[in-house]
Structure 1
Amino acid sequence: MPHFRISHFLVFVLASLLVTIFMFMKRGPFGSKWKVDTQREVFKDMQLEQIRRKAIINSVCRRNNSQKSENMKLEMLERIFVEDNFQLLYCEVPKVGCSNWRRLLIVLGGHVKVPPDSLTGNDIHSSQALRSLSSYSEDEIRVRLQNYTKFLFVREPFTRLVSCYRDKMERPNPIYHKAIGRVILREFRPNADKSLLATGDNVTFSEFAQFVIQHNNFKDRHWFPVENICYPCDINYDFIGKIEHISVEAPWFLESVGVPLSYSRHKATNDPRTDVALTKHFVQQLSHEQRKALYKFYQRDYEIFNYSRPEL
């Protein structure tokens, strides 16, 4: 019996203590203020990280004698899309969540009255709603470059290349199979089956990589280096995001520029995402020489955006 009473007493004491702690946290310095302090720390950390990323870009550009220019060539602005309502300039990098950013910008511009994630791939890629910065007059371009928030998101280069291969070559994609796949098979597969030469299907990752290596001036934006799509040595971007941390960085960025919508990762297929493990699986199919050549092709992206050099 004494043991029974003591146990109940201990339960009562513990319960009271938990209630007290909960109430104190709810109204005291460990409750709402703790949340505010955490948000402030995240905000401070993100600001410092942006300063660090920009400093690295400037350092790499200076080291390679790539000084920022005041005179923008129109080809540098072709992949920068304009959103006037919130004064945003988005440099689109394929295979880095660009479809989701298109969805969001189309809705922000008031072109449709539906949630961003309800827009299909056909909706966004056939839409003429987004204007390229290159389509404006010189004065309009200058005003936007000086006053709008310029941002882009990047991705580990080998992972981006694997994602591109899976999307354009491994999955059914008649346009790319016929335009690129047939060229790859004719050039890199001796005695290729005639039926495959007609369709361009069944290109291996090694064959695709060899095409990228040997035709490094083939400016397909889906696998071309980000440096030659967004020109970070010429354009002072206000925000450089990384898709590897997009669940934190996209919401922070959108909140910082006053956008009331959230970034949602719309996915049209059930295939697993191209992650580190999947990238390793594909890259291991390449020869040492191919990996070295691909690294050379993407080396500036690795340096400018501070990605670790891959194992070669």
Structure 2
Amino acid sequence: MALRKEDAAKKGSVARFRPLAHAAARSRGSAALPSVLTFAVIVASGGLLLMIEKGMLSSVETPSPRGNGRSLSYLQNARDQAAVDVEAQVTPRSPAFGIYQSKLESVVTGTVPPGATRGLSNDHNIQREIRNRTMKIMCKQKNMPQNIWSLSPLKRKTLLQHILVNEEHRFLYCYVPKVACSNWKRMLKVLSGALENVDAKGKMDHKADLVFLGNMKPDEIRYRLRHYFKFMFVREPMTRLLSAYRNKFGEIQEYQKKYGPEIIRRYRPGYTAAEAAAGADVTFAEFVRYLLDEDPDRMNEHWMPMYNLCQPCAVQYDFVGTYERLQEDAAYVLEKVGAPPHIRYPERQSWYKPVTKETLHYYLCSVPQKLVWDLLPKYIIDFSFFGYSLPNTTTEYCRH
């Protein structure tokens, strides 16, 4: 009996896990104080900006395989320093406080702050302004690329392979796998006339009837980067990673056969020949160990960092939408590019299994804490660039 329990614990993070239905009840009070939450975002982001302006993150690069030795203590110290900086510098007399106060007032009065995006809610505009400011400051650091031609050939190739072109509406879209990119590709096909409507049935072809910037000549690339509307969408990094794991290792046999055997042989002590041959039951902990040994610039696109895929310093995007506000951001983009009014962004498919906060909590807490903290430096630029908080995987938090 004890052996069965131990085996069940080992397999607890396999992709077939289904979150408990009652978990959603814990988040009912999350929308009670939107202004307080907005203020919290502002103060937290202020700490990050102060870190950036002081140069604390200027030397942070996506780590090579197995990271660079930075672990829980490094990230915790950086976060603690940010809290000290906020307490010391974001005071009623500081310029930073004035900026944040004016943005908070715009929420109360219902006005659109200067530089904000009309058509988006005010609290959303505040978060977007903070994200844009963060990106601008980080991109000014000396080690950041200023255009696509300053990228290495490998990085430039990856970027250009992920930018899709629509000539009629003059826009460029950098797609990030596991950030609703399939639906955006449907949208591009509808706008080009290759697909009748976004609800058309059938398997999605991710190459056919799409125009890639990488297939164009250098002069054509330069012109479009200079004159077309450019956008991308991002998602909370660990949620995106978990979505990729559950989808590719829980549902797609092609990925199970391609990556599963190698991962099992490398990271599962005492594996059987049958397990290695099938590759069908890779656990989340094994997947994380695999990622630690991977070079971010050569990863599969489904778990490559978003920064590496779309290079937001080399390409100055006009709009960075979020998966968390997908419908609102998508509607804005469609209006901005002049899409016909009858074309709408598709609703989420009924069969889709979203990654909830409870699901993410379960998976992150099911692996050794050190593994998670060793993994975070690989995605630290995604967290800092796009304004996402580092996940809480402390022992106390994981007990609940």
Alignment TM-score, normalising by the size of structure 1: 0.80
Matched, 1:115 2:193: no
- Inter-CA distance 132–183: structure 2 relative to 1 (3 Å threshold): same
Match of residue 155 from structure 1:
235
Conserved? CA contact 1:103–1:124, under 8 Å: no
Match of residue 10 from structure 1:
none
Please list every run of 5 or more consecutive structure 1 residues that lacks an aligned counterpart in the other structure: 1-36
Conserved? CA contact 1:149–1:238, under 8 Å: yes
Amino acid at match of 2:236: E
Matched, 1:186 2:265: yes
The number of aligned residues is 271
Match of residue 7 from structure 1:
none
1:225-247 deviation line (CA, Å, top 9, x unaligned): 01110001111001100000112
Match of residue 59 from structure 1:
137
| Deviation of 1:74 (Å) | 3.8
Match of residue 277 from structure 1:
358
Match of 1:105 among 188, 195, 215: 188
Q: Secondary structure at the match of 1:152?
A: strand
Larger radius of gyration between Structure 1 and Structure 2:
1
Please list every run of 5 or more consecutive structure 2 residues that lacks an aligned counterpart in the other structure: 1-110, 151-155, 394-400
1:159-218 deviation line (CA, Å, top 9, x unaligned): 0000000001122x2211111011000011122122221111111011011101122344
Higher mean displacement: 53-62 or 181-190: 53-62
Conserved? CA contact 1:79–1:91, under 8 Å: yes
- Matches for 1:204-243 after TM superposition, within 5 Å: 204-217=283-296, 218-243=298-323
Amino acid at match of 1:58: K
| Deviation of 1:48 (Å) | 5.9
1:48-67 deviation line (CA, Å, top 9, x unaligned): 65443222112123346314
Higher mean displacement: 257-266 or 182-191: 257-266
Percent identity over the alignment is: 32
1:249-303 deviation line (CA, Å, top 9, x unaligned): 1112211221121111342x73531122211111111211111112111000000
Q: Secondary structure at the match of 2:140?
A: helix
Alignment partners' CA distance in 2, 1:70 and 1:82? 16
Alignment partners' CA distance in 2, 1:115 and 1:130? 15
Q: Secondary structure at the match of 2:149?
A: coil
Conserved? CA contact 2:182–2:204, under 8 Å: no
Q: Secondary structure at the match of 2:204?
A: helix
Q: Secondary structure at the match of 2:258?
A: helix
Match of 1:77 among 160, 166, 177: 160
Q: Secondary structure at the match of 1:151?
A: strand
| Deviation of 1:309 (Å) | 1.6
Higher mean displacement: 152-161 or 47-56: 47-56
Amino acid at match of 1:244: E
Amino acid at match of 2:139: C
Conserved? CA contact 1:181–1:203, under 8 Å: yes
Higher mean displacement: 192-201 or 82-91: 192-201
Q: Secondary structure at the match of 1:116?
A: coil
CA RMSD of aligned residues (A): 2.3
Alignment partners' CA distance in 2, 1:162 and 1:70? 30
| Deviation of 1:135 (Å) | 0.5
